[in-house]
Amino acid sequence: MNQRILIIDDDAAVCSSLASVLATHGFEATSFTTARSAIEQMPKTACDCVLLDVRMPDLDGLTALKLIQSAGTHPPVIMITGHADVPMAVQAMKLGAADFIEKPVDDEELVRSIRSAMERSKRDAEEVSLARVVRERYATLTPREQAVADLVVDGYSSSAIAANLNISVRTVDHHRAAILAKMQATSLPQLLKFLLFIPRDRKDTPENPK
């Protein structure tokens, strides 16, 4: 299925031109000439990326960006801007826009930007999903296992963890094996990657596990 691009520009000719360019690169484009109408239809019009003109008659680019981001689907948004609108486009990027492209739009630059924005968005979504799964797995650890896991992240050896928690090295190794199993990690590097998703200020300190 072709990737869908939502074009929001008050100039119908620009919408038509951009849609034609995107079609030649295998994208499916839907156009709107007002930001409000586009935002109203977004829950019903699934899209993979949004091209948003900074200067719209009904909403300014920053307001439109915020409304798109709050619509629930969170597609990457690329701002299309004239030279005089660059400061607003920069501000939009600070608010989460994926990129901004100056008019007149270069076809190849546009396609590169869209593909890059969608790839980043996909990676971000996968990372958010992984972080959620990791937090769920972490919650299955006992308080003592969580304490050991925290010290593993901090680079403590088994003997150092044993001394810190006043337990035997054998017990530490038992906990580490249980942590690997519960976190579904196949190696220490993968375990460390998983544990870095866990906020460090979420609970008791390692020295005082419940």
**What pLDDT does residue 112 have?**
95
CATH number, position 185: 1.10.10.10
Q: Do 26 and 73 fall within a single domain? A: yes
Q: Rounded mean pLDDT of 105-134?
A: 91
**What pLDDT does residue 208 have?**
41
Q: Other C-beta atoms within 10 Å of 40: how many?
A: 14
Provide the number of structural domains found in the chain: 2
Q: Do 114 and 167 fall within a single domain? A: no
Q: Do 150 and 99 fall within a single domain? A: no
Last residue of a domain, one of 104, 126, 148: 126
Helices 188-195 & 143-153, crossing angle to 10 degrees? 100
| Residue 65: pLDDT over 50 | yes
Q: Do 148 and 93 fall within a single domain? A: no
Please state, in angstroms and rounded to a whole number, the distance separating the CA atoms of residues 24 and 53.
21
Please state, in angstroms and rounded to a whole number, the distance separating the CA atoms of residues 81 and 69.
19
Q: In the predicted model, what is the mean pLDDT of the chain? A: 88
3-state secondary structure of 185: coil
